[in-house]
Amino acid sequence: MHASTDPSWTLMVVQAPPKPILNNFNDDDDDDGPIVFKRGGNSTSKQNQPNLEAKKPSSSSQNSNGQSLNAHKGKSPISSSNASPVKSPIGSPKASASSAKASPMKPPVTYSRVPSSSIAVKEETKPIVDDDDSEDDKPLSSRFKGSTNNANKGVTVPARVKDEHSDDDEVPLSSRFAAKSNAGSSSCKTISSSEKILLVSKIQLNGSTAKDKQQKSSAVPTKRPMDNKVPSNQSFAKKPKLSDASTTKQVTVKAELKADDDDHLTISQRMKKASSSSNKSLSVKQNVTKVVSFSSKKTTKNNKKQMQNSKYSKSTKVQPGSSDGQKKWKTLVHNGVIFPPPYKPHGVKMLYKGKPVDLTPEQEEVATMFAVMKDTEYVQKPQFLQNFWNDWRTLLGKNHVIQKLEACDFNPIYEWHQKEKEKKKQMSTEEKKAVREEKLKQEEMYMWAIVNGVKEKVGNFRVEPPGLFRGRGEHPKMGKLKSRIRPSDITINIGKDAPIPKCPIPGERWKEVKHDNTVTWLAFWNDPINPKEFKYVFLAASSSLKGQSDKEKYEKARKLKDYIHNIRTAYTKDFASKDITKRQIAVATYLIDKLALRAGNEKDDDEADTVGCCTLKVANVECIPPNKLKFDFLGKDSIRYENTVEVELPVYKAIRQFQVAKKPTDDLFDSLDTSKLNAHLKELMPGLTAKVFRTYNASITLDEKLYEETEDGDVAEKFVIYNQANKQVAIICNHQRTISKSHDAQMSRLTEKLEELKGTLKEFKTDLDRAKKGKPPLKDADGKQKRNLTPEAIEKKIATTNQKIEKMELSMKTKEDLKTVALGTSKINYLDPRITVAWCKRHEVPIEKIFNKSLLAKFTWAMDVDPQFRF
């Protein structure tokens, strides 16, 4: 509401950090703007089938998938089953066992990683022996991989030897890159300016390594202008390059610092750490030239925008601020939040016992929220209806004509709503555009914040509109009215010297204005459904603040790599501990490590009944002799986790024993909770918590899969490899999605097309035979005479058709393969982007192929990674 004219923004710009912002004018322009719209009404929610017990045998899956990881969750039809049953999964654990004996601390070897090359070689098996160790460093998937590619197993070991960081892979990347880049430059002239920018930036991107190196040595001077508070403008004015450089540097520095300060580490640990870091630096080679693997082409447009964006946000990367203890920012300026428009009564009357009813606007509003959900599954759920009725009834009043929900007919409202939707759809492109622009204009001022002098995007600056609560799974509160949030519900957090955002609703005011720089939120309000909880307004993922914590997250996960061996050894030892708590901690840690389970905090009764590791119930785990465990439970978001895994015997025995004398609904780990577990983990590695294992296993899996499986080929082939690796991770993390409604239809259409192609292929073959014998081709399906072609021409056609068929089959396979697997979640949250960026650089795959615009923005901090980076 309220005008966009508010001058405040401008003011701020001026006053605050002077300049940075500027330049932007154009930036905002496009697209970066959020798109606005609100959620409509209907929706079908998905639901996964709850219930733990019994339940379905879902597909294939399970069977033997002992091999956990690969196998994964049961569901995917994928490979899993077939594989050799049993086998190996084992590998893993056992490894630790044996290794256990070994010296507890690993030498400075740091990462013993299997060089890709070696792996490739893999053929012969080798002495497994010390393999154990190496296995420790590997992702579970590989450890367990019994099935599928077990091939590697034995092999891996030897290889590692060298590597370390040798970084490298002998790969003459640099040379390759060099060539490429040249090419690029030459072509430059022809390209449009925008393209140029693109190129440039790319180059910078990749080229940064060299820079890093230098900077490192050179020291710190640079860093982002802002920090020193000097708002020199330039900051963004200069382009990415500089800024990149500077930021990078900071990063490095910081990392180093950090490393230094872990006093709490044991010596050996420190050694390890040190060595690893040194490796790191070593690895920085000078491949300056490289790069540009990115193909320019059409991507240009996007990129350009991207670039603009990065202009300011480029800041991304580490803020010095972080180092200063708790402080998350020095200055913070923003315009508060925007509210949804007030309710506009439509006047359409619903029926009660067949007769139209008068409703006040408030009553009508809620009735409409309900009416609009007609097509969702929510309205089939008694809980939903019940909760809705309770809240609506309160609004109607005891004596209202409407006395029971069953006699209500919301159809008139539903229909009205459908019509409105239709109208909207029918609007011309221009009209739509106009609407969009109008909205954008109103929101523009709320979209940005200035943090430490740098303009950054705000994430969710729109206050959530009122509606009916849509909890997932069997949420006890589903259907309750989520009331409208008003300014007096909202607390604003802003810099001391910044102007206080004007309350957009006339006559009202904020609940409170704070100036707390130890937190990152810009505003919050209490969740109307659960007043004990809060809804926060944060900066967008592309912001430097978020980027930095993201980076820290991955650094912590990487650190786990140095500790994992010992941790595994330790918990393996404790499987048989006499102390029950210890035993439970050991087993729980094992599950978290091996299966990437979540920690599992306790939940209240007024939340959906889901579990994580620490809250597993007896009924969620079934022991299948001799040593398999079948998991079946509803996890976060009520997504079902179903998996049968082979485990080490001691684990199996321990679980069986935890189940003794308990009811199915009792806690499996009765002497454990997440705080105990995390407290224990923290003793093993500073900062270690349960979720770090998920990040670690996800990222290391991607890293290794990419190393092992990438082969020469074109971009499309590499893309497939990447997706396979990504999929593997998604399976480990149990990231599912519902099969799209049209999936089957799409598949059959594709099948049809495929058949058709095969048909023409056959025809070509006949024609070829005939042509070779000098006979004319047969008539085509319509009875028309085809052209006479030379055998060579026909052969060519056959080749193209074959290619088409192959391509199609591949895409069908992928489609089928990924129909229930969500790749996005792991990309956003679990996979260290540096792995991907480095891989793209090494294999000349344009990063845009893998990361979309928002991921690119989110991961700017990772773009200048060395191509040889290993997680």
Partner DNA sequence: TCCTGGACTTGGTTCTAATGTT
Partner DNA sequence: AACATTAGAACCAAGTCCAGGA
Are 708 and 839 in contact by the 8 Å Cβ rule? The answer is: no
Q: How far is the CB of 852 from DNA (least distance, A)?
A: 3
Query: b/e string for 110-140 if b means 16 or more Cβ within 10 A?
Result: bbbbbbbbbbbebeeebebebbbbbbbbbbb
Site for DNA in 733-792 (CB under 7 A): 733-738, 740, 742, 745-746, 749
If binding is defined by CB under 7 A, does position 467 make contact with DNA?
yes
Q: How far is the CB of 512 from DNA (least distance, A)?
A: 11
Query: Looking at 194-202, 227-235, 731-739, 781-789, which segment touches DNA (CB under 7 A)?
Result: 731-739
Are 432 and 440 in contact by the 8 Å Cβ rule? The answer is: no
Reply yes or no: is the peptide bond before residue 626 cis, omega within 30 of 0: yes
**Residue 863 belongs to what H/E stretch?**
none
Of 10, 182, 187, 675, which one interacts with DNA (CB under 7 A)?
Answer: 675
Active-site positions?
A: 830
Site for DNA in 366-395 (CB under 7 A): 376
Query: Looking at 253-261, 406-414, 524-532, 720-728, which segment touches DNA (CB under 7 A)?
Result: 524-532
Of 536, 649, 770, 795, which one interacts with DNA (CB under 7 A)?
Answer: 536
Please name the residues in contact with 736: beta carbons below 8 A apart, sequence gap of 6 or more: 48, 73, 75, 639, 640, 820, 821, 822
If binding is defined by CB under 7 A, does position 724 make contact with DNA?
no
Are 156 and 122 in contact by the 8 Å Cβ rule? The answer is: yes
Of 815, 816, 817, 819, which one interacts with DNA (CB under 7 A)?
Answer: 815
Of the two residues 409 and 474, which places its CB atom closer to DNA in the complex?
A: 474
If binding is defined by CB under 7 A, does position 825 make contact with DNA?
yes
Q: How far is the CB of 185 from DNA (least distance, A)?
A: 26
If binding is defined by CB under 7 A, does position 402 make contact with DNA?
no
Query: b/e string for 530-553 if b means 16 or more Cβ within 10 A?
Result: eeeeebebbbbbbbbbbbbebbbb
Question: Tokens 């099969």 appear where?
Answer: 739
Of the two residues 152 and 544, which places its CB atom closer to DNA in the complex?
A: 544
In angstroms, rounded to a whole number, what is the distance separating the alpha carbons of residues 801 and 7?
A: 62
Q: How far is the CB of 596 from DNA (least distance, A)?
A: 9
Q: How far is the CB of 292 from DNA (least distance, A)?
A: 20
Of 174, 234, 281, 689, which one interacts with DNA (CB under 7 A)?
Answer: 689
Of the two residues 410 and 521, which places its CB atom closer to DNA in the complex?
A: 521
If binding is defined by CB under 7 A, does position 155 make contact with DNA?
no
Q: Angle at Cα 832 formed by Cα 826 and Cα 838, nearest 5°?
A: 120
In angstroms, rounded to a whole number, what is the distance separating the alpha carbons of residues 261 and 270?
A: 10
Site for DNA in 593-612 (CB under 7 A): 598-601, 603, 607-608, 610, 612
Of the two residues 290 and 317, which places its CB atom closer to DNA in the complex?
A: 317
Q: For DNA, how many residues bind (rule: CB under 7 A)?
A: 98
Of the two residues 602 and 780, which places its CB atom closer to DNA in the complex?
A: 602
If binding is defined by CB under 7 A, does position 690 make contact with DNA?
yes
Site for DNA in 479-498 (CB under 7 A): 482
Of 344, 398, 423, 532, which one interacts with DNA (CB under 7 A)?
Answer: 532
Residue 267 φ/ψ, nearest 5 degrees:
-60, -50
Of the two residues 351 and 519, which places its CB atom closer to DNA in the complex?
A: 519
Of 122, 143, 691, 870, which one interacts with DNA (CB under 7 A)?
Answer: 691
Of the two residues 114 and 337, which places its CB atom closer to DNA in the complex?
A: 337
With 0-12 CB in 10 A as exposed, 13-18 as middle and 19+ as buried, what is 194? Answer: middle
Query: Looking at 72-80, 527-535, 566-574, 661-669, which segment touches DNA (CB under 7 A)?
Result: 527-535
Q: How many CA atoms lie within 13 A of 570 on its CB side?
A: 17
Percent of residues in the chain assigned helix, strand, coil, to nearest 5: 50, 5, 40
In angstroms, rounded to a whole number, what is the distance separating the alpha carbons of residues 84 and 128?
A: 20
SS3 164: coil
Site for DNA in 56-75 (CB under 7 A): none
Residue 624 bridge partners (DSSP): 628
Q: What is the DSSP string of 103-133?
A: -SS--TT------HHHHHH--S----TTHHH
Of the two residues 302 and 766, which places its CB atom closer to DNA in the complex?
A: 302
If binding is defined by CB under 7 A, does position 417 make contact with DNA?
no
Of the two residues 160 and 694, which places its CB atom closer to DNA in the complex?
A: 694
Are 446 and 6 in contact by the 8 Å Cβ rule? The answer is: no
Residue 862 φ/ψ, nearest 5 degrees:
-105, -5
Q: How far is the CB of 636 from DNA (least distance, A)?
A: 4
SS3 542: coil
Q: How far is the CB of 688 from DNA (least distance, A)?
A: 8
Q: Given CA atoms 744, 748, 749, 751 in this order, what sign does their dihedral have?
A: positive
Of 138, 272, 417, 462, which one interacts with DNA (CB under 7 A)?
Answer: 462
In angstroms, rounded to a whole number, what is the distance separating the alpha carbons of residues 845 and 826?
A: 20
Q: Which residue stretches of 427-496 are H helix?
A: 429-443
Site for DNA in 565-584 (CB under 7 A): none
* Terminal-residue alpha carbon distance, the chain: 48
Q: How far is the CB of 742 from DNA (least distance, A)?
A: 5
Of 130, 169, 464, 489, which one interacts with DNA (CB under 7 A)?
Answer: 464
Q: How far is the CB of 123 from DNA (least distance, A)?
A: 36
The tokens of 811 are what? Answer: 């895409």
Site for DNA in 22-41 (CB under 7 A): 31, 33-41
Of 520, 569, 620, 860, which one interacts with DNA (CB under 7 A)?
Answer: 520
Site for DNA in 632-671 (CB under 7 A): 635-639
Of 55, 56, 432, 515, which one interacts with DNA (CB under 7 A)?
Answer: 432
Of 50, 412, 687, 791, which one interacts with DNA (CB under 7 A)?
Answer: 687
Secondary structure, 3-state, 601-663: CCCCCCCCCCCCHHHCEHHHEEEECCCEEEEEEECHHHCEEEEEEECCHHHHHHHHHHHCCCC
Of the two residues 104 and 534, which places its CB atom closer to DNA in the complex?
A: 534
Q: How far is the CB of 136 from DNA (least distance, A)?
A: 21
Of the two residues 510 and 538, which places its CB atom closer to DNA in the complex?
A: 538
Q: How far is the CB of 303 from DNA (least distance, A)?
A: 12
Of the two residues 793 and 812, which places its CB atom closer to DNA in the complex?
A: 812
Q: Hey, how many other C-beta atoms are within 10 angstroms of the C-beta on 460? A: 16
Are 642 and 73 in contact by the 8 Å Cβ rule? The answer is: yes
The tokens of 858 are what? Answer: 């989110």
